[in-house]
Structure 1
Amino acid sequence: MRILYDASRLMSRADRSAPTGVDRVCLAYAEWLLSRPDVTVIPVRGRKGRLVAVKGDWFRRFILDLRTRWNGAENASGDPAHEARLLAALTASTRPAASVISPPPEPVPARPAAKSRVFKQFFRSRHVAALPSADLYLNVGHTTLHDPAALHELETMGVERVVLIHDLIPVTHPEFCRPGDGDKHHDRVANTLRHASRIIVNSAYTGDELRAFASCEGLPQPPVHVAHLGLEPAFVAGEAVATTRPYFVHVGTIEARKNLAFLLALWRRLEERMGPDAPSLVLVGRYGWENEAVLDHLERSPNLRGLVHQASDVSDVLLTRLMRGARAVLAPSSVEGFDLPAVEARAMGVPLIASDIPPHRELTPDATLIDPLDGPGWIAAVELATRTAPKASTAYAAPDWPGHFDIVAQAIGLPAVSPLAGAPKGL
């Protein structure tokens, strides 16, 4: 099978030392396709409303490089000294005088002084040549979809179109997103429903939201396949950060829908109630949209000083050690489509305290689930976990990539297990 794989998002992430959840999915799909000798992979990217082919030999090296850097095999941290300060703060016998916090991102200049590595990647494609013939187009990164031209052209060519929709949050909860993101994502989802042959979703909840959107908008409903996302190899039992003082971890972009201002208000109350026995909190994630309230807490609250820490970029190696050593991973989000860190925590056997929302009920039913606005309930759960280390259920069956790709293979007409052995074709 000849598959056009949309690599637009991965190419735009070339300079990142730490991936987002969607980035991980895009990389996993690229590796899966390249591993199958019964698939010829044709990497493409979007350019001005159409798709252009990316040089195959370069793409193969690019994927190998991303895996190496995102696995932490190289020095994946943007600031190794920052990681060292974070570990020193957590392992100190007494509460440090100051928190360890990544500086907020600098404003993006209107005209970068030099071409970045990301910019240069866009010259690794053939701008003029027509797309090679193919059987199927696969898009798992939401890129290119806001403009219907590429999907429409593929439909006209008789190429099957398969799209993975991660969530509908910008449409259903635009208040948590950048201005304009709701309209843009509305177009992505509507174009997908109009022109995709079939759609993959990461949870039954996302599938329900997609069908509700299609019904409300009067749009076609292609076949929808629910395939829970798999986990990276690092997110299994292993070495943990050892500390004398208990700590908790939140993993995810610092943005409004993650409910972190609420969480930090709880931490201030915990500090007032527990004094020197109050646990530490580590926020692992990049600064996102509408993070001012979180920054105000981190930078100005004397109650949180030396108690709450934040790190924007850490390698998978350190991230998993931090999660394993925590009393619990916290996931107080107001809304999610899948919530990969919550699933990763349970896969590692780490206790999880999470908001009582549909994706958590679907994916982590044995976690401690609390309404995302129930302040007293959250305080009681964290205080109990601080004083008595909780034990997570060992019966959790984590979703995995082989299971995910079995569903995808069936959906697109490939054998669940590749019938051949040998090196990947097509690059």
Structure 2
Amino acid sequence: MHPTVLLDASRLLSRTERAAPTGIDRVCLAYAEWLIAHPYYRMVPVRARKGQLALVSNDWFRDRISEMRSRWNGLSEAQDRPQDTALLQALSATQRPQYSVRSPLPVSTETRKKRHVARQFFRARRTALPSAMAYINVGHTGLDEPELLNSLQEAGIPRLLMVHDLIPVTHPQYCRLGDDEKHARRMRHALSLGSHIIANSAYTASELGRFATANDLPSLPVDVAHLGLESHLGQAEPLETARPYFVHVGTIEGRKNLAFILSLWRTLAEQMGEQTPALVLIGRYGWENEAELALLHRCPELQGLVHQAEGMSDHTLTKIMLGAQAVLSPSSVEGFDLPAVEASALGVPLIASDIPPHRELVGHARLIDPLDGSGWMSAIQEYSARKPSAPQYTAPSWAEHFAIVEERILNPLATLHQQG
């Protein structure tokens, strides 16, 4: 009999209509696909509802996973989306365009609430959960309240949880008001009610250890397993342009240090004139980004130079990354930084901030202090004049990640489950 693993699909189910995923969304999708295809473990999808778990229709869930994969990778699309096409045209122009390609400014929180239509039914039903060997949650969902983990603990089901970062706790200035308290609750519940932790980097594991010590919480078993990359990464031809450009991939939010980069680009425009390279920001608007939005949408020196797009398929994203002089990753803080790893795997030069996760994962990159303006300016001008060759890089893989999860956590749990 195959051991049952409960996979918390709450985050994935809230993303069923998104055009493009976040980094954590990609992790959730990778786990779903791995467990669906696993020859031994039987995956049962569940979602959190008011502190309890509800079963999700297995067939319906598998269909949604297939749809999300097809939409997010973009390999099956006959043509680029309108905004993608506009961006590709702007980058391919022989002269600097008069206007930038940008997504509309985000609406207010209140307007978002009014427009949001909550999807109350995800083919989930309240019923007795099957006897399970383990519960897996890799999306941070439902951990801010204790009821969910408490009920699993009472049922004798081990709780395997992934921690992606502690940024809202360690750097609350970059997050929404109240997110620090909410995330601290998640971490307290994970450490006091979880059974095993997966950390996406040694840095994240170290920060979690500090949090546990500072809050007098138990130290759970923690395994560091670097995240893998999409299997179709690199299945695109580089975008060929007459003018050089650079790329940043990630949510447009304060911790990404983009206000610093945009201010630097304004100085570059003053110094280099028509020779100024373009900058492409690929990502959704996030939080605490007023300075970034003011520069992006209102600074005349950046018009036609700095572009922004969201909801881009992986195929188009890869094409744009491959054609760039370099990918920029100037973040003040990260837990893992998947785009930096992806750029390195693609052989694209990387200029990144000198922070612990970058030293751990992409130490070969041009690492510069995140506030060293002259250092960043010099590197960008140098790379703009001549695109350097990227060093050989061996990227972490999902196969390696899941081998750690299976060999160190699931297989021992399966043995105990069978003995019980």
TM-score of the superposed pair, with normalisation by structure 2: 0.94
Higher relative contact order (CA closer than 8 Å, sequence separation 6+): 1
Aligned position for 2:23: 21
CA separation in 2, counterparts of 1:32 and 1:111? 34
Relative to structure 1, is the Cα distance of residues 379 and 110 closer, same or farther in structure 2, using a 3 angstrom cutoff?
Answer: closer
Displacement after TM superposition at 1:81 (Å) = 1.6
Contact 1:18/1:76 (<8 A) preserved: no
CA separation in 1, counterparts of 2:371 and 2:203? 21
| 1:215 correspondence with 2:223 | no
Aligned position for 1:80: 81
Aligned position for 1:309: 307
The C-alpha deviation readout for 1:87-118, integer Å capped at 9, x for no partner, is 111000010111111112233547757856xx
Relative to structure 1, is the Cα distance of residues 103 and 75 closer, same or farther in structure 2, using a 3 angstrom cutoff?
Answer: farther
CA separation in 2, counterparts of 1:299 and 1:109? 20
CA separation in 2, counterparts of 1:75 and 1:413? 37
Displacement after TM superposition at 1:75 (Å) = 4.7
Q: Secondary structure at the match of 2:125?
A: coil
Moved more, 270-279 or 344-353: 270-279
Relative to structure 1, is the Cα distance of residues 389 and 148 closer, same or farther in structure 2, using a 3 angstrom cutoff?
Answer: same
Aligned position for 2:147: 149
Relative to structure 1, is the Cα distance of residues 224 and 101 closer, same or farther in structure 2, using a 3 angstrom cutoff?
Answer: same
Contact 1:92/1:243 (<8 A) preserved: yes
Q: Secondary structure at the match of 1:288?
A: coil
* Aligned pairs (5 A) from 1:12-51: 12-51=14-53
Q: Secondary structure at the match of 2:53?
A: strand
| 1:399 correspondence with 2:396 | yes
Contact 1:285/1:310 (<8 A) preserved: yes
Displacement after TM superposition at 1:40 (Å) = 1.1
| CA RMSD, 1 decimal | 1.7
Instruction: Give the aligned residue type for 2:332.
Output: S
Relative to structure 1, is the Cα distance of residues 130 and 190 closer, same or farther in structure 2, using a 3 angstrom cutoff?
Answer: same
User: Which consecutive residues of structure 1, in runs of 5 or more, have no partner in the other structure?
Assistant: 416-427
Of 195, 198, 215, the match for 1:197: 195
Relative to structure 1, is the Cα distance of residues 188 and 312 closer, same or farther in structure 2, using a 3 angstrom cutoff?
Answer: same
Aligned position for 1:231: 229
* Aligned pairs (5 A) from 1:275-354: 275-354=273-352
Q: Secondary structure at the match of 1:414?
A: helix
* Aligned pairs (5 A) from 1:130-149: 130-149=128-147
Displacement after TM superposition at 1:157 (Å) = 1.2
Contact 1:202/1:228 (<8 A) preserved: yes
Aligned position for 1:125: 124
CA separation in 2, counterparts of 1:92 and 1:223? 54
Displacement after TM superposition at 1:353 (Å) = 0.1
Relative to structure 1, is the Cα distance of residues 281 and 110 closer, same or farther in structure 2, using a 3 angstrom cutoff?
Answer: closer
Aligned position for 1:174: 172
| 1:412 correspondence with 2:409 | yes
**Any runs of at least 4 consecutive aligned residues in structure 1 with deviations exceeding 3 A, and if so which?**
73-77, 107-116
Instruction: Give the aligned residue type for 1:210.
Output: L
Aligned position for 1:70: 72
Displacement after TM superposition at 1:195 (Å) = 1.1
Q: Secondary structure at the match of 1:379?
A: helix
Aligned position for 1:419: none
CA separation in 2, counterparts of 1:109 and 1:305? 28
Instruction: Give the aligned residue type for 2:378.
Output: A
| 1:266 correspondence with 2:264 | yes
Relative to structure 1, is the Cα distance of residues 223 and 111 closer, same or farther in structure 2, using a 3 angstrom cutoff?
Answer: closer
Q: Secondary structure at the match of 2:207?
A: helix
User: Which consecutive residues of structure 2, in runs of 5 or more, have no partner in the other structure?
Assistant: 413-420
Relative to structure 1, is the Cα distance of residues 172 and 100 closer, same or farther in structure 2, using a 3 angstrom cutoff?
Answer: same
Q: Secondary structure at the match of 1:389?
A: coil
Aligned position for 2:162: 164
Aligned position for 2:416: none
Contact 1:70/1:76 (<8 A) preserved: no
Contact 1:354/1:368 (<8 A) preserved: yes
The C-alpha deviation readout for 1:390-423, integer Å capped at 9, x for no partner, is 11102x11001000000010132339xxxxxxxx
CA separation in 1, counterparts of 2:21 and 2:115? 25
Displacement after TM superposition at 1:133 (Å) = 1.2
Displacement after TM superposition at 1:343 (Å) = 0.2
Displacement after TM superposition at 1:34 (Å) = 0.6
CA separation in 2, counterparts of 1:235 and 1:76? 18
CA separation in 2, counterparts of 1:181 and 1:399? 30
Contact 1:5/1:41 (<8 A) preserved: yes
How many residues get paired?
A: 409
CA separation in 2, counterparts of 1:319 and 1:135? 39
Aligned position for 1:244: 242
CA separation in 2, counterparts of 1:211 and 1:401? 25
The C-alpha deviation readout for 1:142-180, integer Å capped at 9, x for no partner, is 001111111111111111110000000001001100111
Moved more, 295-304 or 373-382: 295-304
Contact 2:13/2:122 (<8 A) preserved: no
Aligned position for 1:424: none
